[in-house]
A and B are shown apart, each in its own frame.
Chain A
Amino acid sequence: MIVVPCPSCGPRNSSDLRNAGEVVPRPDPDTATLTEWRSYLYLRENPASWVTETWYCRNGCRRYFTIERNTATNEIRESDTT
Chain B
Amino acid sequence: MSRHGYRYSAGSLIRHGLTRGEWPRMWSKPERRSTYDVVIVGGGLHGLATAYYLAKNHGMTNVAVVDKGYLGAGGSGRNTAIVRSNYLTPEGVAFYDRSLHLYNNMATDLNLNVMLSKRGHLTLAHTDSALRTMNWRAEVNKLLDIDSSVIGPKEVKRLTPSLDVSPDTRYPILGALYHPPGGIVRHDAVVWGYARAAAYLGVHLLQGTEVLDITCTGGDGPQGKGPGGRVTGIHTSRGDINSPVVVNCTAGWASLISNMAGIPLAITTHPLQAAVTEPCKVFLPTVVVSGSLHVYVSQTDRGELVFGASVDPVGTYRLNGTLEFTEELAGHVLELMPGISKMRLMRQWSGLCDMTPDYSPIMGFTPVEGYFVDVGWGTYGFKAGPVAGETMAETIANGCTAELIAPFSIDRFTDGDLVGEKGAAAVGH
- Partner among B267, B315, B416 whose Cβ is within 8 Å of the Cβ of A21: B315
Neighbouring B residues of A35 by C-beta, 8 Å: 414
- Partner among A1, A71, A74 whose Cβ is within 8 Å of the Cβ of B269: A71
Q: How many pairs of residues, A versus B, come closer than 8 Å at their CB atoms?
A: 66
Alpha-carbon distance A21/B311, docked complex (angstroms): 14
- Is B259 located at the chain interface by the 8 A CB criterion? yes
Number of B residues contacting the other chain (C-beta, 8 Å)? 23
- Is B10 located at the chain interface by the 8 A CB criterion? no
Asked if A46 and B416 make an inter-chain contact with CB atoms under 8 angstroms apart, the answer reads no
Asked if A19 and B255 make an inter-chain contact with CB atoms under 8 angstroms apart, the answer reads no
Interchain nearest-CB distance for A50 vs B (Å): 12
Asked if B318 and A73 make an inter-chain contact with CB atoms under 8 angstroms apart, the answer reads yes
Asked if A46 and B267 make an inter-chain contact with CB atoms under 8 angstroms apart, the answer reads yes
Q: Encode B8-35 as 1/0 by CB contact (under 8 A) with A.
A: 0000000000000000000000000000
Neighbouring B residues of A74 by C-beta, 8 Å: 316, 318
Q: Encode A17-51 as 1/0 by CB contact (under 8 A) with B.
A: 01101100000000000110011011111111000
- Partner among B255, B314, B316, B322 whose Cβ is within 8 Å of the Cβ of A44: B255
Residue of A nearest to B320 (CB): A74
Interchain nearest-CB distance for B143 vs A (Å): 30
Chain A: interface size category: 20 to 34
Asked if B324 and A44 make an inter-chain contact with CB atoms under 8 angstroms apart, the answer reads no
Query: If the complex has contacts A19-B313, A71-B315, are A47 and B256 also in contact, measured as CB distance less than 8 A?
Result: yes
Asked if A43 and B256 make an inter-chain contact with CB atoms under 8 angstroms apart, the answer reads no
Interchain nearest-CB distance for A42 vs B (Å): 4
- Partner among B256, B259, B266, B322 whose Cβ is within 8 Å of the Cβ of A42: B266
Alpha-carbon distance A73/B320, docked complex (angstroms): 10
- Is A8 located at the chain interface by the 8 A CB criterion? no
Contacts from B to A (Cβ < 8 Å): 253, 255-256, 259, 264-269, 313-318, 322-324, 357, 413-414, 416
**A-B contacts besides A19-B314, A35-B414, 6 pairs, CB < 8 Å:** A38-B413, A38-B416, A42-B266, A42-B413, A47-B255, A72-B316
